[in-house]
Structure 1
Amino acid sequence: MTSPSYSSFNQWFSDGPFATYIRTMKSPGGFLNLMETALPAVDMSDPAVPELVLHCDLIGGFGINADLGAGRFSATSRSGDFLLTAPNFANSVSVDSYHQIRSLSFPVGYWRQFLEDATDRVPSLDFGALHRGTFTSGTIRSAQRQLWQRCDEEGAPSRLLAQAAGCEILAELCRLAGSPLASARGGLAPWAERRCLELMHARLLEDISLDELAAEARLSPYHFGRMFKQSVGVPPRVYLTRLRVEKACDLLEQTNLPITQIALEVGYSSNQVLARVFLKHMRMSPSDYRRAVRDPVRQTSLHAPPALEGRQ
């Protein structure tokens, strides 16, 4: 009997006997798949899927015996440790106690092209010894934590957010594996910066991707993200949030549109999402902001630029 094939790790998990252990699943479509699970001691054999899958241990203390694509190993995991499953490999895993895991899955088709554009060499998603045991990385832990935090605020991650996190994590995996990607030097050419900013303004309410912005600047997504930050001072996703908050402020000041409609006008899926973003960056709710700007005594203090994540 032929085993069923799966296009993603998340699909296999959600369709199989472990589906009840899923806490959260999110995907922006085609770039990254996110999943959080909480499982008891378990033995499982995962099918080969066309994805590189990065697992982060949330609580630590479990023993694991596994083959994730580079030979069998045994280890005791600590909170914050990572495990990396090779793509297109039917791995086997035995875990001896309760564990909580956050998994990021990188579809091979998209990210292999990313590596090719970033390195000008034949791409590989084989990370050698990283598939054979646990490892740690402050860079990856920070990128993953920020990704999940933004998801909690905004629901499903935007394409810009998912691609930026994926770029950072893959670049660090390459470094840890001994094949660091070359760093981009300098910022965007003036014409490229102008065209990218114009595109972001024009398509404010769309889920614009890093690929589209990079194509406008005639650069690879990997190099574009770093060069944009050098020119503008913040990553593309942070700049886009700034534009959306500023536009929301204008609409709250100048119109009587319902806040739900304003959320849609600036690219957010609901008034709840807008409220979370607005509260974080303006330190008040959209309703409170609207009331305040219509009170002349309070207007002066409200027109400082939003405090958007520092200069990350």
Structure 2
Amino acid sequence: MSTEFDSTGSLPGTETGPLNADRIELSYSKTPIAKGFGSLGLSAALWQSDVFANSEASRPACPHTHMIETCLFGGGESSLFIDGRHLFHRRIVPGSTALVRAGEAPRSVTYSACGQCMHLYLPDKLLQQSATEEFDCPGSVELQQRGLQEDPMIAQMGRLVAQELEAPSGGSRMMLDSVSLAVTVRMLRTWSSLSEGTDLNNASGLAPWQQKRAIEHIQSRYCENLSIADLAAEARLSPYHFIRSFKRSVGAPPHQYLTRVRLERARVLLETTNLAITEVAFEIGYHSPGHFARLFRRSYGMTPTAYRRERNT
């Protein structure tokens, strides 16, 4: 699960700034397969490990950011040391998840590795804000160091992020924001001092004016890389409350509704214009015709080309 970093690398600036995908890449001079940044502060990097053995990586502590590392496929054998203390020596399999909390200095020793892993860089500020707004938790919440755990939900969200990051546009900010909040809630529920039975705050649906403004914003700017923060500001809500309230009112989370709007527009363009499939994809906000075609087929059971042919016969 560990990546083949130069063990002599340093990470300048972590004492005063957040850890993120750019800082890791700069420090270790290793380029991830893909990386992305949400508007809420979480960033992510997808790393590929070819078959190798006996590498070591260290970095100084960052007091502002937690790092969640999950194996997406492949595996290996690795040890992790935190602040000089041996935490685990385990076989890594898909779904294996480890946490480096803000303020901890990790050193990993990888004996063998092959596959892909996802790093999620979670600002502590986002964690604390979510604990307050989602769980009505007063005071500070601490993540608990649990060593290496099987967490299929984190791995599943990591795969969703990987799919987004590998798109030519670098991924949908709205999707990354949605996953950011889902990851944060997951960490609070299962990796923190909060009990698993702690209930989420009840969220009502959007007020009619909030729903109207949010939907109009999506429908008028669907071709842009919108973020949850953009929409939440229109409704004058926090991102946390907005996502849950929007889903309750509309029946789908914002990123799914945005996809629905884009694909409906694509159907109109396919039926009424001679634009090439690539041009249709660009027109509705997708930089990858292949990504657009996959989404279209998933929704309508046929490719855009087949859809156009069927409608024109």
Structure 1 residue 155 displacement after superposition: 4.9
Give the equivalent residue in structure 1 for 2:105: 90
What is the distance in 2 between the residues matched to 1:181 and 1:77? Answer: 34
What is the distance in 1 between the residues matched to 2:139 and 2:311? Answer: 53
**Partner deviation per Cα, 1:67-96 (whole Å, 9 max, x = no partner):** 1x6954123144211111122443222222
Structure 1 residue 109 displacement after superposition: 5.4
Q: Measured at CA, do residues 160 and 134 of structure 1 come closer, stay the same or move farther in structure 2, by a change above 3 Å?
A: same
Query: Would the aligned equivalents of 1:31 and 1:159 in 2 still touch at CA under 8 Å?
Result: no
Query: How is 1:268-283 mapped onto 2 (pairs within 5 angstroms)?
Result: 268-283=286-301
What is the distance in 2 between the residues matched to 1:166 and 1:13? Answer: 19
What is the distance in 2 between the residues matched to 1:3 and 1:16? Answer: 5
Give the equivalent residue in structure 2 for 1:127: 143
Query: Would the aligned equivalents of 2:102 and 2:124 in 1 still touch at CA under 8 Å?
Result: yes
Query: How is 1:74-85 mapped onto 2 (pairs within 5 angstroms)?
Result: 74-79=88-93, 80-85=95-100
Query: Would the aligned equivalents of 1:52 and 1:125 in 2 still touch at CA under 8 Å?
Result: no
Q: Measured at CA, do residues 123 and 61 of structure 1 come closer, stay the same or move farther in structure 2, by a change above 3 Å?
A: farther
Query: How is 1:55-66 mapped onto 2 (pairs within 5 angstroms)?
Result: 55-57=69-71, 58-66=73-81
Structure 1 residue 145 displacement after superposition: 2.3
Give the equivalent residue in structure 2 for 1:149: 163
Aligned length: 289
| Structure showing the higher strand proportion among its residues | 2
What is the distance in 2 between the residues matched to 1:174 and 1:110? Answer: 11
Structure 1 residue 114 displacement after superposition: 4.7
Q: Does 1:102 find its partner at 2:118?
A: yes
Give the equivalent residue in structure 1 for 2:13: 5
TM-score scaled by length of structure 1: 0.80
Give the equivalent residue in structure 1 for 2:6: none
Query: Would the aligned equivalents of 1:154 and 1:273 in 2 still touch at CA under 8 Å?
Result: no
What is the distance in 1 between the residues matched to 2:22 and 2:164? Answer: 23
Give the equivalent residue in structure 2 for 1:246: 264
Residue 247 of structure 2 is aligned with which of 229, 236, 240?
Answer: 229
Query: How is 1:162-173 mapped onto 2 (pairs within 5 angstroms)?
Result: 162-173=176-187
- Uncovered stretches (5+) of structure 2, i.e. residues with no partner: 1-9
> 3-state DSSP class of the match of 2:45?
strand
Q: Does 1:197 find its partner at 2:205?
A: no
What is the distance in 1 between the residues matched to 2:27 and 2:286? Answer: 33
Query: Would the aligned equivalents of 2:44 and 2:118 in 1 still touch at CA under 8 Å?
Result: no
Query: Would the aligned equivalents of 1:171 and 1:181 in 2 still touch at CA under 8 Å?
Result: no
Residue 280 of structure 2 is aligned with which of 262, 282, 303?
Answer: 262
Structure 1 residue 194 displacement after superposition: 2.0
Moved more, 81-90 or 166-175: 81-90
What is the distance in 1 between the residues matched to 2:28 and 2:204? Answer: 50
Structure 1 residue 108 displacement after superposition: 4.6
Q: Measured at CA, do residues 122 and 35 of structure 1 come closer, stay the same or move farther in structure 2, by a change above 3 Å?
A: farther
What is the distance in 2 between the residues matched to 1:139 and 1:150? Answer: 17
What is the distance in 2 between the residues matched to 1:274 and 1:247? Answer: 12
Residue 15 of structure 1 is aligned with which of 20, 26, 32?
Answer: 26
Give the equivalent residue in structure 1 for 2:45: 34
Moved more, 34-43 or 195-204: 34-43
- Uncovered stretches (5+) of structure 1, i.e. residues with no partner: 296-312
AA aligned to 1:10 is A
Structure 1 residue 121 displacement after superposition: 5.5
Q: Measured at CA, do residues 71 and 116 of structure 1 come closer, stay the same or move farther in structure 2, by a change above 3 Å?
A: farther
Give the equivalent residue in structure 2 for 1:220: 238
Give the equivalent residue in structure 1 for 2:303: 285
Give the equivalent residue in structure 2 for 1:294: 312
> 3-state DSSP class of the match of 1:54?
strand
AA aligned to 2:159 is R
What is the distance in 2 between the residues matched to 1:110 and 1:173? Answer: 12
AA aligned to 1:278 is F
Structure 1 residue 111 displacement after superposition: 5.4
What is the distance in 2 between the residues matched to 1:162 and 1:274? Answer: 18
Q: Measured at CA, do residues 99 and 274 of structure 1 come closer, stay the same or move farther in structure 2, by a change above 3 Å?
A: closer
Query: Would the aligned equivalents of 1:225 and 1:236 in 2 still touch at CA under 8 Å?
Result: yes
> 3-state DSSP class of the match of 1:98?
strand
- What is the aligned-residue identity percentage? 29
